[in-house]
Structure 1
């Protein structure tokens, strides 16, 4: 078969879908991978495994009527050019507009929901009228597009249930659950445990990733443990939920946060960390947590959709309430006071990720759901 894979960010095709693309090609399928933000090295990476890569522009933030219609038509033109048998998409705009374009072209489509935000949870809906309207439109579009999909793949049960509850999935029999995007256990191998108090968080610098709570917890702990280090890796984000660069500079100047910016390879940073921390408000399944688990690191994350599935409380880490920096600091301090937890929980993280999140196991379920 010929399969078109549609993404909203080109690096994710290599970082998150590379093993899936390789497996599909090894099975004899032709893969066309399309996304915005390609660089020549990314084109080359995909060509080296036998895929065909295409640049296709999309605005990832907000609803732009003309821009989104143009995106849909560009997908349709890409389908007409390559004549794929199946379209596989992930993230909201490729999912919605890819389903519409595939239906117009008369081919099957499969969408993977890699996480839901406030637009799909009633309790998180903003009070701002403009945002409420935009989120209402997004839910209606998703309801329509999901009716066109052959199958929808979800990364955690909370997202699936919320999708059903807000009316975005009228036929739950279309749904398949997988354990996130999986992680390559050969690429992320166990590293020796670290006893010095170095905590690490990797994320885009967004409020909903819990960056403010991480900084607040660091401020609490530095008073009692001045030798502790709180590292933060990830790019600033210009979106409405982005962390103010002035706040980041203040944390760095005060010695609260050790900021490394965006990095190409997170493995050396994971190897230098004692414990991995992600106080996110909601995820599909956080890939950074899986990578930390594969490296043999204990985990502190939130009791929130997507995050809670990665931690067995007291076994490979601790769950804390969302937006609770005091509880986060208390969980982090446990590892400083009880260093014996570091080795035990890190070993359990590697066991859990091997049993549940091996990328090849996850991809096998996805390929089966695709009917390939």
Structure 2
């Protein structure tokens, strides 16, 4: 019988933000949970303990590729896991999937699982021939994925495109992938509210990265406001140190121009209640939690026809899919909602129904726990 599990992540806050209900459910079922991450602060550590899990500092660098450092950290993590002796490990995000799984194998953990929450920018088409540096990086990431996946019992995916791409590249053996779908949201917390119709208000919630389509959102807002100056465009999200980050100067320029309202990293629900339509023009996702939250609150969605995003919209039913990087198509769908306001509530209701069918976190966690514990 499996009695303990180690969750391995490269970012401690994600354990609270995205895994709290999973941790609580495992704890209630009598499973001892170790939560491993490299960057705990006291607030996160206390929150994990309140969920019934044991926070454990683990050696891992969240970003960057230093082969020697990663190898040393993998060996140190293996020693840590050998001491904890979990029956199961589940690593999520790229480094835990690769190095966490390898460490668990070195430590002799009998049941090793990995979750690919999105393949990221390396696998995102640019529309042009990839430069040599990008091709080499993609080859290296594929090789590392293959190395980590080879030591996992099953590999969990949020969307079928990522699963198929790793299979086609030879990094994932056929039959080893498990399609979970979105990680889900708490439908009793994210409850429907009437969408705001006057003024028409669009909202984007994302880290301020170019790959999230933030620049396209601002450009589409500029176009729409020329015709409908009363329309609001809300932007929520904090600045990031990622190389692909939008700068504070860029965002402030949009604010000064009067095309977007930026409120930084802040609780989402109060702003979602002020919105009409949720927008995410991302270039690629796992299955975005922000869209699942918006759907649960009864918001129509405009997003891109790319892996992960396309799993959140039934075209013309709860919203619209547009090509990535296509500002004109994005602006056109925004205009459609302004000109046909009845569709805002109708499609928002369809979003809630889809959220209930696809993204109930309790149903998702039950499926995941059955896989992890072999129930």
If the TM-score is normalised by the length of the shorter chain, which range does it land in? over 0.9
Partner of 1:223: 226
Report deviation, 1:72: 1.1
1:101 to 86, 100, 103: 103
Do the aligned partners of residues 125 and 33 (structure 1) sit closer, same or farther apart at CA in structure 2, a change above 3 Å counting? farther
List aligned pairs for 1:328-367, cutoff 5 A. Answer: 328-367=330-369
Partner of 2:191: 189
Do the aligned partners of residues 244 and 126 (structure 1) sit closer, same or farther apart at CA in structure 2, a change above 3 Å counting? farther
Report deviation, 1:313: 0.8
Partner of 2:167: 164
TM-score by length of 1: 0.96
Bigger shift: 222-231 or 31-40? Answer: 31-40
Query: Does the CA contact (< 8 Å) of 1:119 and 1:136 recur in 2?
Result: no
Unaligned runs of 5+ in 2: none
2-structure distance, mates of 1:220, 1:102: 52
2-structure distance, mates of 1:5, 1:139: 23
Question: Aligned pairs, how many?
Answer: 370
1-structure distance, mates of 2:348, 2:252: 32
1-structure distance, mates of 2:105, 2:233: 49
1:234 to 220, 229, 237: 237
For the pair 1:246 / 2:284, whether they are aligned, the reply is no
- 1:239-265 Cα offsets, whole Å, 9 max, x none, are 1111122211211111111100011x2
For the pair 1:146 / 2:143, whether they are aligned, the reply is no
Report deviation, 1:181: 0.8
Report deviation, 1:64: 1.3
SS of match in other structure, 1:17: helix
List aligned pairs for 1:293-312, cutoff 5 A. Answer: 293-312=295-314
1-structure distance, mates of 2:137, 2:57: 27
Report deviation, 1:100: 0.8
When the two chains are superposed, the root-mean-square deviation of aligned CA atoms in Å is 1.6
- 1:18-56 Cα offsets, whole Å, 9 max, x none, are 111111111110000011332212111111121001233
Partner of 1:288: 290
2-structure distance, mates of 1:168, 1:135: 12
Query: Does the CA contact (< 8 Å) of 1:120 and 1:163 recur in 2?
Result: no
- 1:249-304 Cα offsets, whole Å, 9 max, x none, are 211111111100011x2111111111100000110000000000011111110011
Report deviation, 1:121: 6.1
1-structure distance, mates of 2:121, 2:191: 35
1-structure distance, mates of 2:129, 2:32: 43
SS of match in other structure, 2:150: helix
Bigger shift: 62-71 or 152-161? Answer: 62-71
Report deviation, 1:65: 1.2
- 1:301-359 Cα offsets, whole Å, 9 max, x none, are 00111101110111111111100011001111111111101111111111110111100
Partner of 2:75: 73
List aligned pairs for 1:49-60, cutoff 5 A. Answer: 49-60=51-62
Query: Does the CA contact (< 8 Å) of 2:121 and 2:284 recur in 1?
Result: no
1:113 to 116, 119, 125: 116
TM-score by length of 2: 0.95
Report deviation, 1:85: 1.0
Partner of 1:256: 259
Query: Does the CA contact (< 8 Å) of 2:292 and 2:312 recur in 1?
Result: yes
- 1:177-209 Cα offsets, whole Å, 9 max, x none, are 112111111111111221121110000111110
2-structure distance, mates of 1:301, 1:318: 7
Do the aligned partners of residues 28 and 125 (structure 1) sit closer, same or farther apart at CA in structure 2, a change above 3 Å counting? farther
2-structure distance, mates of 1:127, 1:78: 39
Partner of 1:323: 325
SS of match in other structure, 1:240: coil
